[in-house]
Amino acid sequence: MTSDPISISLAPLVPYMDPDKSAEDTARKLHQKAAGEPAQTSSPKMNQRKAVGIDLGTTFSAVAHIDAYGKPQIIPNAESERITPSVILFDGSNVIVGTTAKNNAVAEPEKIVDFIKREMGKPKEQFHREFGGKVYSAEELSALILKKLKLDTEKYLKQPITDAVITVPAYFNDAERTATITAGQLAGFNVLQIINEPTAAALAYGLDKLNEDQTVFVFDLGGGTFDVTIMRIQGQHINMIATNGDHRLGGKDWDDIIVNHMAEEFDRRHGENPLLDLQSYQALHTRALSAKIQLSSRDQSAVVHHHNGKSVKLEITRNEFERRSQHLVEKCKTICEMVMQEANMTWDDIDKILLVGGMTRMPMVRTLVSQLTKAPVIDDVNPDEAVAKGASIQAILSLLEEEKVSGEQVLPTDTRDQFVGREGGLIQVTNITSHTLGVVLWDEVHLEEYVFPMIRKMTAIPARARNSFGTAMSNMQRAVVRVVEGESTLPGECTPLGICDVELPAFLPKGSPVELTYEYNANQVLEVSVEASGNRAKVSIERNTGLAPNEVAQAAANLGSLRVA
């Protein structure tokens, strides 16, 4: 087989910067300057580290830590709430995150940003919001939410928070994961690891149930994303077996059912569309969301909407709501069936169902689950808190791993004793890849491009694949590796991750071997290397997603000048 050039790259966790000038340091120094604190010249002492787990949600976020008794605990925010709305209000150079911002969504919609998680991984040209003459990317906006969580946690625990494990939907791709790491670093965290939300939920559930072998189906329907994952808890091991999902399916789609129902009714009665006005839309969305929540416990609810001096009262029953949402429930069902197929399992193989995400409180979701399987639903886990708690457990596991490598103590003795002292030693978590990672090659016979899968979906992580390809012509000057993510063999149907462009030695004959290696690390971020004629090179992927390296430094400076509360 011959191929178009291949080049490889190291896909960096974040765009590479000189360590002395890293975004994290820059952000920290800028913050210290703004707050009048003495500048920290070296990283905190190893034994002073404190790590948290963060569920960075589409609609709500939560933080947890491991307490002195080795138990995960949610940390309330400055408003004494256990979860913080992922909503930002820009008010001059002040940034308000949380309930106050959410409550202002109707009065000042032009100053509000929400549902940022759905935009993660997009380049700035594709998604940005502008406030006070400054343009913010999805990473920067997420960093502001993380910053609020960090400040509130430090105030509550009365100590600096250095490290974090941040969760992402299992179905997040490389670009979305990289953007989440950048957001964490911009907020001033050392991001220990990015872990999958269902893995975190399984960790929170499984901590006390290790050694009770069981296969758990994690059904995670949040404000903006849907993930299903099959996990096996066996001895001290928690293994991910299969995962699938839709990162654009969540609570908002159910809210929009009521919003659109009202808009139709408004149009029918008054010949006007109330959704064309941002303020009117926000007001309606808020009412629709609370009607949706009411319909989880009541048979009917009502929404009243005023617009342009006219009003409509819409009575909606649970039956009617369920009928109108049927296509969304069907989507969930299809994804559940797909993951069972991928795992090569039947519903009889599932021992327990773990429901995660606020939307799983809806009766129609519980009905779907009971129709799919007779396996019992675990009901001793709070769907809003499980993910953050699991992430806080992973934070300790990551720090213990670091201790093992460095031989240096980074955790308080009591915390370490709680974890290492557990029967059977440390918990081992194994994740799998949620997407296939491939390279675009040239097919000389059919004269067309196709995708060659390097690391297939559902491979255990960390994963490594090495393959040899040939140069497509003699004296080829460069190998250009196009890295893609997706299940199709057609390049147009996969997500391009970026390009690695490598110079080749001169005068190579046609078909000269080019070795391509893909390595997928624990954060599920890709590293690529190329070897041609004995020269081995790790090359950065020129990513076409997220923030460019020069934009990261700018972002750190931008954020440092804002006051976050």
* Residues that bind ligand AMP in the complex, under the rule CB under 6 A: 57-60, 222-223, 251, 289, 292-293, 296, 357-359, 361-362, 384
Residue 356: Cβ-neighbour burial (10 angstroms; 0-12, 13-18, 19+): buried
SS3 content of the chain, % helix, strand, coil (to 5): 35, 30, 35
Nearer to ligand AMP, 321 or 520 (CB): 321
Preceding peptide of 462 cis, ω within 30°: yes
Cβ at position 384, least distance to ligand AMP in Å: 6
Nearer to ligand AMP, 358 or 438 (CB): 358
**CA dihedral of 519, 521, 523, 524, whole degrees rounded to 10:** 30
> Could you give the CA distance from residue 431 to residue 195 in angstroms, rounded to a whole number?
9
In 271-352, which ranges are continuous DSSP H helix? 278-297, 318-324, 326-343
Cβ at position 562, least distance to ligand AMP in Å: 25
Nearer to ligand AMP, 385 or 551 (CB): 385
Cβ at position 54, least distance to ligand AMP in Å: 13
Nearer to ligand AMP, 318 or 457 (CB): 318
Cβ at position 383, least distance to ligand AMP in Å: 6
Nearer to ligand AMP, 143 or 386 (CB): 386
Q: What is the 3-state secondary structure (H, E, C) of 133-193?
A: CEEECHHHHHHHHHHHHHHHHHHHHCCCCCEEEEEECCCCCHHHHHHHHHHHHHCCCEEEE
Which residues, in sequence order, are CB contacts of 22 under 8 Å at separation 6+? Answer: 185
Nearer to ligand AMP, 242 or 362 (CB): 362
Q: Are 530 and 6 in contact (CB under 8 A)?
A: yes
Cβ at position 252, least distance to ligand AMP in Å: 6
Q: Are 492 and 484 in contact (CB under 8 A)?
A: no
Cβ at position 473, least distance to ligand AMP in Å: 52
Cβ at position 391, least distance to ligand AMP in Å: 14
Cβ at position 197, least distance to ligand AMP in Å: 9
> Could you give the CA distance from residue 513 to residue 27 in angstroms, rounded to a whole number?
44
Nearer to ligand AMP, 149 or 552 (CB): 149
Q: Are 63 and 156 in contact (CB under 8 A)?
A: no
Nearer to ligand AMP, 57 or 438 (CB): 57
* CB-based closest residue to ligand AMP: 251
> Could you give the CA distance from residue 519 to residue 513 in angstroms, rounded to a whole number?
19
Identify the CA nearest to 353 among candidates 199, 225, 202.
Answer: 202
